[in-house]
Chains A and B, each alone.
Chain A
């Protein structure tokens, strides 16, 4: 079975550009999470969805960040405009809400110059 699929794996962009990160969760999972990992702040929960509905976006750092889940098999995290401090590895994870264990993608490494 395919795991969580994230794209792109690496993204290098210039400050001010729009960045879109994509995630395909595991089929049948009903919860999806976006995390950001940096050396300074560790793993931060940005937003999570249950049954495609955003439940808690209190971790989204600013209005420049937005996330959508238009259907059960796809989610996006968008940063517009991007800034150098957004440089990080962004992870998508999915789970069955009943069991709680998270299945992570391999991450998208974002570098904003």
Chain B
């Protein structure tokens, strides 16, 4: 009964390095969402993807951030040239489909990114 898997759980990067966060959705789920949780703040939506398609990236910063969900393999959230303000917990969620009012999203354990 594998849930949403994320790795690494903890990631430390120095300013200017790249961070790659991976997410494998629940079995049978084809929709992936990335959220960011900053200290003392709630979860903020970043991007919504289906296989090989970005559906909604309205929450993504305009620069340095990108996301993909290839036909094979996990979804990747990539942060280039990290800065201290990128330090946060990044959560991935998955759902089976958008159709239907329930569209329940199930979350992974998160990746805690620390930028030194």
Tell me, yes or no, whether A binds B.
no
